[in-house]
Chain A
Amino acid sequence: MTDLAVTLDVHKQIRQWQQEAGLPVVDLQQPRRSWAAMLTILLDARSADARTAALSISSILTGSTQRNPLQVLIPDSEDSVLLEQWLAFEPDVRFVRTVDEAVLGAQYLLVCPAGVVFGSHSVQAAVEAAQESGARLLRAVVDGVSGSLELWDTAGLGSAADLSAAEQGIRDDGGERWVSGASLGAYAAGRPAPKMFLRKGAAGRFDVHVVVKDLKDPAARRDYEQQIRQLESELARAKRHWWQEASSAAPAGGTARRPFGSVPLRAVRKGPRYLAARTALRLRRWTTG
């Protein structure tokens, strides 16, 4: 089997996992940026299987901050091979084997245990929560996931080794803040997404769905014209329906029908066949009794 065939199989497998988990099935073909980013993400997949890690990765890479570099911390294994094949063409995803290999972002490092599924704006919401509370270490509990999300303010820290002693120091200074994962829109894979995730602050402003189409393309133009004609026909049908409803709702003895309200006039209006039938009926009643 060729390398390309293997990769296609992996993509197919991961799409199936996404489907089973209720996540949007998307391919990861998004524009990326270089490693000189303000925020980097470190996914801790040391204790997770490939499926769990893949679900977290796909939720990260399809979120609003998809252009942030991602590091996947996973030891050499069959699972890591599968993930590496899946993400082989993603230039901003790299795999590390130990914590010390992790690269810190220029300002923030987001550590995420595998198994957490991110909402579209979770990363941005975490950054805003840290900024609003002034926390140097923002942590989020996600029920159903072992471990917690960690958003480190890396300013002043040189390497991951510095962080090993930093947690206690930040705790002692009161610089740590815990929030719920649901408040960031994050939840455990296999569990339902938070029912209501109110994006606050700047994250809410980006919640816009933009569709761009080129009207110079004849197919797109025909499509639009067809949609407009369909809307016009629906409008005309709605008007007819409204007129019929209004007419049937008018009172039987209303002013609009009064000229034709008397019995003789109604009989004349109904024609000679009606008159003949009525005459025959009356004659039959008269002869029988």
Chain B
Amino acid sequence: MDLTNTLAGSYDFSLPQLATALKLGPKAYEWALEDLADPARIDRGSGTQQLWHDNFVLAAQSLAQARRWLPLLSLSGKAHRVHLVLRDHPAAGPESGPPTVAQLRSGLMVAGSAAPAGYVAVTVSAGNWVDVHRAVAAALTHFQVGRPGSVVRGLRIGLTDPVHAAWAAGDPLARSLTPDMLEPEEHDIFPVDVLVAATAPEITSVRRPARIILPESGLADVDGWSTALPPVDVRSVSPRGFEPYPGSGIVQAVPAPDGGVAFDGVHGTAVLAPGEPVGAHTVAALRPHSYVDIAGLLSASDQRSASVVISNLAVAGIPMLAGPGSRALQLLGPDLAAAVTDFDAQDTPLRRESKSIDMRRLALDLFEPAARWARWVPNLAQPEPATVSVLLATRRADRVREAVRQIDRQSWPAVEIVLVLHGIELPDGELDRLRAECSRDLVVRTAGAEQVLGQVLNIGVAAASGELLAKMDDDDWYGRNHLRDLVQARRYSGADLVGSQVEFVYLEDLDILTRRPAEGERYCHHVAGGTMLISRQDLADLGGWRPVHRAVDRCLLQAVEAAGGSIYRGHGQNYVMHRYGDAPGHGGHTWAPEMETFLQNSSEQWDGFVLPPQIDAADISYRPPGRSRRLRSIFSAAEPELQTSFPARGEHS
């Protein structure tokens, strides 16, 4: 059998350079080129015809593009070796590194090496023939942080035209279907659940897809759920990397002459070719800029393509400047269109970030692949959101009511409250009143005062029934969308544990709100204990909470990392830590260092009890006592009362 080397995808790579870098041998100069964007490729193919290659190279400009092309490779047959080449992956650099070998989950061997031409190449082999689609899917997980797997929760999407590849959002279960695959035998099953096609195909078989989506028919829909707009591949484009303090100015997004999109002012000019997806590299190039002015994009002739680009930028949380009223914005739906046009170049960085959070939350609700497909095919995709059990362990009876109310106000629909009373009892009738006021399931457990915090939390875990567990504190303040944002972050990051940084701290003694330097959304090693969200199964696999009296959060973070898991930090505007005036002896579980800790690296301060925009002050019943008398100015305060005397060196404990 005379085998060829096949190059699929982007053709602007130097073939001799590729052959040398990939060590393809003497036959490397005979190439077959496969155009993944050509519909005829599917028309002339056959589901039963097997293709064979010596080397199969998928060359893509970005990870997002490779993920988009993944379903189209289901008809590409098998090869001795499969190479995934990415040009704009962050790992690509001028220096060539030594090959690394790792065993993938799928049992394939991958040998990766950075080639000197500014791209990275991953070679996948199995010692024998390897399925091209399976190998590329495995290679893509090599680049992916977080959990691999289906982004549409198991829904099988079929494509009859490569132009609709975006509707699969990089899902590894999605398939290209040749005409003969649309007519399975009666005893067989239809290969996919739902078909995306330009026109409804005539299927004579009794085995049919449950639903056929025709993107063109959705152009008139303006409720945000138009089938004309594909989902956004959130594993490639997400709020990750948002910069709260941009260092550069406004960028203009304008239609390029060839039908693509140009971003003027991004290191010169960044251009998206026609049909090229917005990828992580495009988003990364836009991050340092304060705003993207999309006025030019909104006047483009192809309003649908403009709308697709804007939906991606909205999911990424990139602040945009636009006037209302264009067709492209209407396609996004009224809520998201309003959020996109809500930015003002005069906004403070805090307000800019808050508006970005509002916009990305709406955009993720609409364009996250699982959510969008659940809306389009409600009987097939999973309709129910994940249930979150909130663990609320408390030693302060006086804080229980407000803490339960705070959780009850959460916008995430499926919430269960697991209240663990640690060595305390509630007044008579208080529990009944709580249940009457609360619209959520309220589970109450008690733990003896002699039990340590880790044991108390494990009692709560045993009583919880949700598939996700969130830990919240009784004395801190949370925004209404705290749980919603964490669940969304868990989906798009694929991290095993998500949470927030302690950015905002209210210092009761000083009567000021401080903000530590915001680091933006990113994978990290630490999140605040009162913001952790982890799946019940993952927590069980890690052995639950460590039965110690303090530092249980740190122990869990260590366990996640030691088990090879990942931790993701979302934005910090949903959480304000309350630093009591009488800390550290205020009787709670809270980490309570001395006050100087919270003033070190304080990037911003606000006088008085001020809350970040994501927390509605109307929800908070707390009334600040005002600045502590001992910390008022010498000119404002009365005579000091306490005698100040210090021990000599060595006497201080």
Contact = CB atoms under 8 A, between A and B. Distances in A.
Interface of A: 17, 20-22, 42, 44, 46-49, 51-52, 55, 99, 111, 113-115, 137, 141-148, 150, 160, 163-164, 166-168, 171-172, 174, 176-183, 188-191
B641 to A, nearest CB: 7
A147 B647 CA distance: 18
Contact of A44 (B600, B634, B642): B634
Contacts of B651: 190
Given A46-B640, A181-B596, A182-B600, A188 B635 contact: no
B101 interface: no
B385 to A, nearest CB: 41
Contact of A146 (B597, B635, B642): B642
Nearest to A135: B605
Contacts, number: 105
B648 interface: yes
Given A21-B649, A160-B635, A172-B607, 5 more contacts: A51-B646, A113-B644, A164-B635, A178-B510, A181-B596
Interface in B618-653: 630-636, 639-649, 651-652
B512 interface: yes
B582 interface: no
A144 to B, nearest CB: 8
Contacts of A174: 606-607
Nearest to B594: A143
A22 to B, nearest CB: 5
A99 B649 contact: no
B602 interface: yes
Contacts of B647: 190
B595 interface: yes
Contacts of A146: 630, 640, 642, 644
B463 interface: no
Interface of B: 510, 512, 514, 594-597, 599-600, 602, 605-608, 630-636, 639-649, 651-652
B600 A180 contact: yes
A287 B317 CA distance: 103
A148 B648 CA distance: 21
A48 B634 contact: no
A22 B643 CA distance: 22
B596 A141 contact: yes
B517 to A, nearest CB: 14
A190 B596 contact: no
A238 B1 CA distance: 75
The 5 closest A-B CB pairs, nearest first, are: A190-B646, A163-B635, A180-B596, A20-B648, A180-B599
A163 B635 CA distance: 6
A215 to B, nearest CB: 40
A164 B635 CA distance: 5
22 contacts: A20-B649, A42-B634, A47-B640, A47-B643, A52-B644, A99-B635, A113-B644, A114-B644, A143-B594, A146-B630, A148-B631, A150-B633, A163-B633, A164-B635, A167-B632, A167-B633, A167-B635, A168-B636, A178-B605, A179-B602, A180-B599, A190-B652
Nearest to A137: B633
A100 B569 CA distance: 52
A112 to B, nearest CB: 10
Nearest to B512: A178
A111 B634 contact: yes
B24 to A, nearest CB: 49
A14 B631 CA distance: 29
Given A147-B631, A178-B512, A46 B639 contact: yes
A143 B607 CA distance: 20
